Chain A
Amino acid sequence: MWNDLDSPLRALGFRLRALFRRSAEETELNEELRFHFEKQAEKYRLSGMGEEEARRRARLLFGGHEQVKEDCREARGTSFVEDARQDMRYAVRQLRANPTFAVVIVLTLALSIGANSAIFSVINGVLIKPLPYRQPDKLVRIFLSSAEYPKFPLNPFDFRDFRARNKSFDGMAAYMRGDMQLSGAGEPVRLHGFAITSGYFRVLGLRPQLGREFDERAETQGNNFQVILSDRVWRSRFAAAPDILGRKITLNAQPFTVVGVMPAGTTHPGNRHEPLAYGEDVDVWWPFAFLGDPADRGSHYLEGIGRLKDGVTVAQAHAELNAMMTQLGREHGGDIGWQVLAVPLDSEIVGGSRPLLLVLLGAVGMVLLIACANAANLMLTRAAVRQREIAVRVALGAPRSRVVRQLLTESLLIAFMGGALGLAMALVGVKALVLLLPANFPRAHDIHVSAPVFLFTLSISVGTGILFGLAPALQASRTDPKEGLHKGGRATTGNERQSRLRNALVVSEVSLACVLLIGAGLMLRSLLNLMHLDPGFQTEHVLTAMLSLAPERYSTPESLVRFYQELPRGIRSLPGVESVGLGSDIPWTGYDDNIGGFTIEGKQPPPHQEFHARYHIATSDYFRAMGIPLQRGRFFTDADKGEAPWVLIINHAMAERYWPGEDAVGKRIAFSDTPKETDWIRIVGVVGDVKDQPNSHGAEPAFWWAASEISFHFSRLLVPELLLAVRADANPEFMVNAIRNQVGRLDPLLAVADVRMMDQIVTASVATPRFQFVLVGLFGGLAIVLAAIGTYGVIAYSVSQRTSEFGLRMALGARRFDVLWLVLVQAGKLILTGTVIGVALALVLARGLKSLIYEVSPADPLTFTAIGFAVIAIAIVACYIPARKATEADPMVALRAE
Chain B
Amino acid sequence: MTAERIDLPQGTLDLLILRTLSLEPQHGWAISERVQQVSSDVLRIQQGSLYPALHRLERRGWIKAKWGTSENNRRAKYYELTRVGRKQLEAETESWRKLAAAVAQVLESV
Contact = CB atoms under 8 A, between A and B. Distances in A.
A677 to B, nearest CB: 102
Given A31-B75, A31-B77, A39-B29, A7 B58 contact: no
Interface in B63-79: 67, 70, 74-77
Contact of A40 (B29, B52, B60, B75): B29
A71 B53 CA distance: 9
5 contacts: A7-B61, A32-B27, A36-B51, A75-B51, A77-B59
A43 B52 CA distance: 23
A3 B28 CA distance: 25
A81 to B, nearest CB: 14
Given A3-B87, A63-B46, A11 B60 contact: yes
A68 interface: yes
A3 B51 contact: no
Prevailing SS type, chain B contact patch: helix
Nearest to B27: A35
Given A14-B59, A28-B77, A75-B56, A63 B47 contact: yes
Given A36-B47, A76-B58, 12 more contacts: A3-B61, A6-B61, A11-B60, A32-B28, A33-B51, A35-B77, A61-B47, A71-B52, A72-B55, A75-B55, A75-B56, A76-B56
Interface in A65-124: 67-68, 71-72, 74-77
Nearest to A4: B84
A869 interface: no
A748 B37 CA distance: 114
B9 interface: no
A33 B77 CA distance: 10
Contacts of B52: 68, 71-72, 74-75
Given A31-B75, A35-B77, A68 B53 contact: no
B76 to A, nearest CB: 5
A62 interface: yes
A62 B52 CA distance: 13
A75 B29 contact: no
A36 B48 CA distance: 12
Nearest to A40: B29
A10 interface: yes
A626 B47 CA distance: 99
Contacts of B84: 3, 7
A64 B47 CA distance: 10
Contacts of A14: 58-59, 61
Interface in A822-874: none
A74 B48 CA distance: 13
A68 B55 contact: no
B86 to A, nearest CB: 11
Interface residues of B, number: 25
Interface string A14-36: 11000000000000100111011
Contacts of B56: 75-76
A68 B27 contact: no
> Most chain-B Cβ atoms within 10 A of its Cβ — which of A67, A74, A75, A76?
A75
Interface of A: 3, 6-7, 10-11, 14-15, 28, 31-33, 35-36, 38-40, 43, 61-64, 67-68, 71-72, 74-77
A395 B55 CA distance: 31
Contacts of B70: 35
A38 B52 CA distance: 19
Interface in B27-58: 27-29, 33, 46-48, 51-53, 55-56, 58
A839 B55 CA distance: 61
Contacts, number: 73
Contact of A36 (B29, B60, B75): B29
B28 A36 contact: yes
A40 B56 CA distance: 23
Nearest to A18: B59
B60 A7 contact: yes
Interface string B1-40: 0000000000000000000000000011100010000000
A35 B71 CA distance: 12
Contacts of B76: 32, 35
Contact of A67 (B48, B59, B61, B77): B48
Contacts of B55: 72, 75-76
Contacts of A7: 60-61, 84
A71 B47 CA distance: 11
In the A-B complex, list the 5 residue pairs whose CB atoms are closest, starting with the nearest. Answer: A71-B52, A75-B55, A75-B56, A39-B29, A75-B52
Contacts of B77: 28, 31-32, 35
A38 B70 CA distance: 12
Nearest to A77: B59
A645 to B, nearest CB: 101
Contact of B48 (A64, A76, A77): A64
Contacts of B28: 32, 35-36
Contacts of A33: 47, 51
A64 B48 CA distance: 8
A32 B77 CA distance: 6
B87 A63 contact: no
Contact of B47 (A3, A6, A68): A68
B69 to A, nearest CB: 11
Contacts of B61: 3, 6-7, 10-11, 14
A71 to B, nearest CB: 4
A112 B10 CA distance: 54
B47 A75 contact: no
B48 to A, nearest CB: 5
A48 to B, nearest CB: 15
Contacts of A68: 47-48, 51-52
A33 B61 CA distance: 21
B75 A75 contact: no
Nearest to B77: A32
A32 B28 CA distance: 8
A74 B76 CA distance: 22
B12 to A, nearest CB: 17
A75 B51 CA distance: 9
Contacts of A63: 46-48
Contacts of A67: 48
A144 to B, nearest CB: 69
B22 to A, nearest CB: 17
A32 B59 contact: no
A72 B59 CA distance: 11
B89 to A, nearest CB: 13
Contacts of B29: 35-36, 39-40
A383 to B, nearest CB: 35
B25 to A, nearest CB: 14
B43 to A, nearest CB: 15
A36 B60 CA distance: 23
Nearest to A70: B52
Nearest to B87: A3
Nearest to A74: B52
A168 B43 CA distance: 80
A62 B27 contact: no
Nearest to A62: B47
B51 A72 contact: yes
Interface centre among B27, B52, B70, B87 (most CB of A within 10 A): B52
Contacts of A10: 61
Nearest to B85: A3
A59 to B, nearest CB: 11
Contact of B59 (A11, A31, A43): A11
